[in-house]
Structure formats: C-alpha cells, structure tokens
Amino acid sequence: MKSIISTFILLLSLIVTPLIAQNFAINHGPYLQAVGKNEVTIVWTTNNPAISWVEVASAGDESFYAKEHPKYFEISNGKRLVSKLHRINIAGLTKNTEYRYRIFSKEVISDKNNKVIYGNVVSSDVFNKAPLRFKTFDDEKDKISFTVVNDIHAQNDTLKALLKEIRYGKTDMVVFNGDMISSVENEEEIFNGFMKSSISMFAKEVPMFYVRGNHETRGGFSTQFPDYFVNNSGKPYYAFRYGPAYFIVLDSGEDKPDSDIEYADLACFDKYRTEQQHWLSNILNSTECQSTKYKIVFMHIPPFGTDWHGEREVKTKFLPILNKAGIDIMFCGHTHKYSYIDSVSGVSDFPVLVNGANTSLDVTVNTNSLIIKIKNTKGNILNTHEISK
C-alpha cells in the first residue's frame, strides 16, 4: 500500500510541478544600482522565490554564445540566496568600461529536508534582443551629465515627459530626489508608481540613484523600501565620486516631530539625523572628497522655507558641517515649487536649488563649470544657473 501511495505522489508531483513552473516570471526589472568605477549592482524581482545570477561579457560584436561567461550569484553567508528580490553585485570590473549583461532566475518550488525542487528558468530576452549594457564610472573623467527629478507622487505621465530624453551614452545617470510616490504599502506601489516607467525608458542601462523623501518613510512597506535601491553604504544616506564631482546623499527623514500622531509611535528621525551628522563629518574629511573639484549635496527637504521641525533639524544638524566643506550646491525638492537660494553668509555658504514637481534639472559638470538647466515637461528651458571654478 505504501508503495502505491508513493508512486501516486511521485506521479502527481510530475504533473503539478510543471504547471506551477509555467507561471514563473520576471515581473520587474532589471535596473542598475550602485554603479561605481569597479562595480555595479543589478536588481530585479520574480513572482516566486528563485536563485538568480547575472552573466557579464565585454562590449563588442562577439556573440554571447561564443564562449562561457562568468556567472555572478547573490550570496548570503555562504549560500546562494533564494528570494523574490534579486540584488546581484558584480565587482572587480574595470573603470570607464562598457559591459554587456543578461539576467537569469531559476524557480525554487520547494526546499525541505535538504532536498530542493527547482522549476523553470527565466531570463532577460537572450534570443531576440541584444544583451543589455552598462558602463562603469571613472573618477578621472573630465565631464559628466545627470538629470534630477523629484516629487512625482506616482504621476507617471509627468515622469515620462520629464525623462523622455534619457538615453544610454547621452546621460550618465538619473537622480530621484525623493517623494516619487506618496506612501509605500507594498512592492507593487514602487513599480507602478514610477519604477516600471523608469525601467522601460532607461533604468536597464542608465544608472539611477535614489534620495529618500519623507513620503517614502510612510506606509506598511516603507521599512523594506530601501532594499530596492542599493548603494555603497547600505543606508539611505551615502556618497560616491564620479568624474570631477563628489556626491553626498543625505536622508532628511520626516518633516514633523517624531511624536506627531501621523507617525503612530514609529518615527525616530531625530536620532537618525544625528547618526548622519557623525557619518557626514567623516566622509567630508576623506581624501576622496577633499581631492574632488566639485562637491554636490542631494537632500529632499530644503534647509529653508518654513519653520517645520524637519527643516529645522537639517538646518541645525547638517548645515554647520557642510559650511566647512566647500560645498558647491545642494539640490532639494519637497516644496513642489522651484526656488534658487544663493549663499547667505553665516547661514549657508553654498546655493540651494529647490526643484519643482513638474520640472527636471539637467546638470553638466566639467573641469571649469557646473551648468544647471531647469526644464518643463515639454523640454523647454525655464532657467539656467552656472557655477564656475
């Protein structure tokens, strides 16, 4: 009898397993994160748990099938990670170099009693399209360009209009300066709100850097939100160098006191901003920062404009440190209105540009100047600012 039951279970598994595997798919991505001069992280999601890997090849016309290429897996404490969110770091690359890549995920249907049952393998389109591309950064590059948007609040039509000109080889990177959605209740809100549009337009090949806004701190999925945007510090605040510029990303947190009823006793942003003070002092004193010609700060909540608690916090905790560091400009959002506040002696030793909700900043940095063009959804230039060195 036991033999008959075992045979029946085996036959049933052979029938059911393929049916389950047929539904397995990559549902979001890939997109580039944490590009540096020697590394990149590639992120995507699947609808079921899987192990995943990236294959990387040098640029050129040689077929991806000409030879076997290295496979990069996501490893956690000595094991390949089984997950629906896949964040694979590829290190040891050469700076200022173009690479081709493709992604793969193999479904894990069951992992019990040291026995793993695998399902189908899915991938980026490796048969009908050319492999995807990325290019590593170069700290010796003498000219870079990037685009900044913020306060989109899931308005995908606005996002598409502002970023319609982003192309591989034309724009080096894109910065999302906070409040791209209004709250974070689940993973789908991230992708439906702005990432699905970004991936279809540019993010598979043009790197995107995220600055958390106060609205991304809200909602039941907000603590997981930073997991989808990888950087070199593992925190929502970080710094990196590209070409003649050193970029400092600060997390301004929430705009009201931690005790506000809206935060339901979950907010601890005052201590969090104090934590950033210590980190900020250290990175500003680093050789990498001090040896770079331009120092650019991103922070969602500006240090001027209202007397709200969040603004007071960033003004008192961050500005005194930044004022000693030779900052060239700070880019902010939050107010939904454009403003340009020049340096004010004793308050801010650098200009602060607040970008609106319906405009983008096209920024070019070279060895002699930093040029900012403010554009509307039609691509018209509304204002221009230049900082010469």
Cβ proximity of 248 and 283 under 8 Å: yes
Phi/psi at 143 (5° precision): -150, 135
* CATH code where residue 199 lies: 3.60.21.10
- Please check the confidence at residue 5 and state whether its pLDDT lies above 70: no
The better pLDDT of the pair 205, 131 is held by 205
The better pLDDT of the pair 198, 20 is held by 198
Q: How many domains does the chain have?
A: 2
Residue in 326, 348, 352 with CA at minimum distance from that of residue 338: 352
% the chain with pLDDT above 70: 94
- Please check the confidence at residue 21 and state whether its pLDDT lies above 50: no
- Averaged pLDDT, 345-359: 92
Residues 189 and 129 in one domain: no
pLDDT classification of 4: cutoffs 50, 70, 90: low
Cβ proximity of 134 and 99 under 8 Å: yes
Three-state DSSP at 293 gives coil
Residues 360 and 377 in one domain: yes
Residues 239 and 261 in one domain: yes
The pLDDT of residue 306 = 85
Helical axes 309-317 vs 269-284, angle rounded to 10°? 30
Cβ proximity of 135 and 101 under 8 Å: no
- Averaged pLDDT, 114-119: 94
- Please check the confidence at residue 153 and state whether its pLDDT lies above 60: yes
Residues 203 and 330 in one domain: yes
The pLDDT of residue 14 = 47
Residues 126 and 204 in one domain: no
Give the CA diameter of the chain.
89
Residues 253 and 349 in one domain: yes
- Please check the confidence at residue 360 and state whether its pLDDT lies above 50: yes
pLDDT tens across 280-315, in order? 999 999 999 999 999 999 999 999 888 899 999 999
Residues 156 and 117 in one domain: no
- Please check the confidence at residue 11 and state whether its pLDDT lies above 70: no
Residues 112 and 147 in one domain: no
The pLDDT of residue 10 = 47
Domain boundary among 117, 135, 153: 135
- Please check the confidence at residue 61 and state whether its pLDDT lies above 80: yes
Residues 200 and 148 in one domain: yes
The pLDDT of residue 22 = 55
Residues 129 and 147 in one domain: no
Q: How many residues does the chain have?
A: 389
Domain boundary among 101, 135, 169: 135
The better pLDDT of the pair 68, 380 is held by 380
Residue 103 lies in domain: 2-135
Residues 125 and 201 in one domain: no
State how far the Cα of 12 lies from the Cα of 86, in Å rounded to an integer.
31
- Please check the confidence at residue 277 and state whether its pLDDT lies above 70: yes
* CATH code where residue 42 lies: 2.60.40.10
Phi/psi at 254 (5° precision): -85, 165
Residues 104 and 175 in one domain: no
- Please check the confidence at residue 8 and state whether its pLDDT lies above 70: no
Domain boundary among 92, 116, 135: 135
Please state, as a whole number, how many other Cβ atoms lie within 10 Å of the Cβ of residue 120. 18
Question: What average pLDDT is seen over the chain?
Answer: 93
